[in-house]
Amino acid sequence: MHIAILTFDGFNELDSFIASVLLNRMRSKGWKASITCPSAQVTSMNGVTIQAEESLDFAAGADAVLIGSGVKTRDIARDKTLLGQIRLDPRRQLIGAQCSGTLLLAKLGLIGDCPACTDLTTKPWVIEAGVRVLEQPFHAEGTIATAGGCLASPYLAAWVLAKLGSEEDARAALHYVAPVGEKESYVAHAMAAIGQ
Amino acid sequence: MHIAILTFDGFNELDSFIASVLLNRMRSKGWKASITCPSAQVTSMNGVTIQAEESLDFAAGADAVLIGSGVKTRDIARDKTLLGQIRLDPRRQLIGAQCSGTLLLAKLGLIGDCPACTDLTTKPWVIEAGVRVLEQPFHAEGTIATAGGCLASPYLAAWVLAKLGSEEDARAALHYVAPVGEKESYVAHAMAAIGQ
């Protein structure tokens, strides 16, 4: 399985890397989640510069695509050239959006009439884009899922793991990242959040 | 406040970036948490290359130092030259270690007779270093704290925020990262974990 984690300039580190760490737990089974960017380097909202692992055209062929979040999402949402480079197909791909990534999902026309999750800051812009925003961390309908709040990222990753792998794969990755002494309760809570 | 997040080759992305995102919520109050590395670039355990924001000598002058985790910590623990470049002083600095970072904290002679937290993989090596390992996500004694499990990183960051800032600063940063719809319960849980 190839998974693209779309990561733009001004990105929120948690919203890209939490998903990356959970999904790459499956590397021994041949999965690879890759930080996928519109340029060779991007700089985070807190000033950390990272090198892209893949360019945006990788997303079109990926089995799953997660749209990360950041402080420049409203600019990206207005950039028709950049949006045009994100070619996704919910008939053959799982597509998820984290926090302000939901605004891009809406602008790409992929939410339709479904309600969605996003963070508290982005919420007004997602509503303005015509989407009903849920007061909950995670929501999925078919092959589209959205999550709100950085620490809802494990839920989005677990959904991909459960859909493209198995419930056991999702539980194992959540168990790995969970705090020591809270692992069983955390896994149960996260699996309940994604409706498993 | 200047905070060094020690980040080595093979680093676990969550163990450096979760702390970074929470602590940099205080940038408007003049704080800066910086990814601090022994080289100009480091590559994560999942293959993502990032640029260092500070070099190791920055840590000696920081108000707080958090030692991140990674897949090469056992090699670093044997590298006396590298360990010698990490000059910390618990009399004037807060010092925290995340997951395998606890092994470096032990090798630096900073744990003493105190028990500590670490991840399940590193646990045998921390025990071998003479430290009693706790089956819990977070433990602090005075100016030294340790955390185990990637998602215990918010607890370690919240401890720094509460000690160098205020309980309210810690609550605000935790609230920001928490999942939508779970924010109040998450903040209460995390504050209880750090004993506030």
Structure tokens at B171: 């609550």
Q: For residue A134, count CB atoms less than 10 angstroms from its CB and return exposed for 0-12, middle for 13-18, buried for 19 or more.
A: middle
| Contact predicate A12/A20, CB 8 Å | no
pLDDT level of residue A112 (50, 70, 90 thresholds): confident
> CA A21 → CA A17, A124, A146, A173, distances in Å?
6, 30, 18, 9
ipTM: 0.96
Q: For residue A51, count CB atoms less than 10 angstroms from its CB and return exposed for 0-12, middle for 13-18, buried for 19 or more.
A: middle
Residue corresponding to tokens 């056992």: B74
Contacts of B116 in chain A (CB under 8 A): none
Contacts of B148 in chain A (CB under 8 A): 179-181
Residue A54 corresponds to which amino acid? Answer: E
How near does any CA of chain B get to the CA of A13, in Å? 6
Instruction: State residue B143's pLDDT score.
Output: 97
Contact flag A151-B186 (C-beta cutoff 8 Å): yes
Among residues A81, A86, A135, A121, the alpha carbon closest in space to that of A106 is found at A86
Contacts of B120 in chain A (CB under 8 A): 180
Contact flag A179-B137 (C-beta cutoff 8 Å): yes
Q: What percent of chain A has pLDDT over 70?
A: 100
Going by DSSP bridges, is the β-strand pair B138-141/B144-147 parallel, antiparallel, or unpaired?
antiparallel
Average pLDDT value over all residues in chain A: 97
C-alpha span between B174 and B186 (Å, rounded): 8
- What is chain B's pLDDT, residue by residue, as a tens digit (196 residues)? 999 999 999 999 999 999 999 999 999 999 999 999 999 999 999 999 999 999 999 999 999 999 999 999 999 999 999 999 999 999 999 999 999 999 999 999 999 899 999 999 999 999 999 999 999 999 999 999 999 999 999 999 999 999 999 999 999 999 999 999 999 999 999 999 999 7
Size of interface A-B (CB pairs under 8 A): 128
What is the arithmetic mean of pLDDT over A1-5?
98
C-alpha span between A66 and B57 (Å, rounded): 37
Contacts of A119 in chain B (CB under 8 A): 180
Instruction: State residue B90's pLDDT score.
Output: 97
Structural domains of chain B, with CATH? 2-193 (3.40.50.880)
Instruction: State residue A17's pLDDT score.
Output: 98
Q: What pTM was computed for the model?
A: 0.97
pLDDT in tens, A165-185: 999 999 999 999 999 999 999
Instruction: State residue B85's pLDDT score.
Output: 96
Most B CBs within 10 A among A151, A156, A186, hence the mutation to make, goes to A151
How near does any CA of chain A get to the CA of B3, in Å? 13
C-alpha span between B126 and B148 (Å, rounded): 12
Q: What is the DSSP string of chain B?
A: -EEEEE--TTB-HHHHHHHHHHHGGGGGGT-EEEEEESSSEEE-TTS-EEE-SEEGGGGGG-SEEEE--BTTHHHHHH-HHHHHT----TTTSEEEEETTHHHHHHHTT-STT--B---TTTHHHHHHTT-PBPSSSEEEETTEEEE-SGGGHHHHHHHHHHHHS-HHHHHHHHHHHSPTT-HHHHHHHHHHHTT-
| Contact predicate A113/B156, CB 8 Å | no
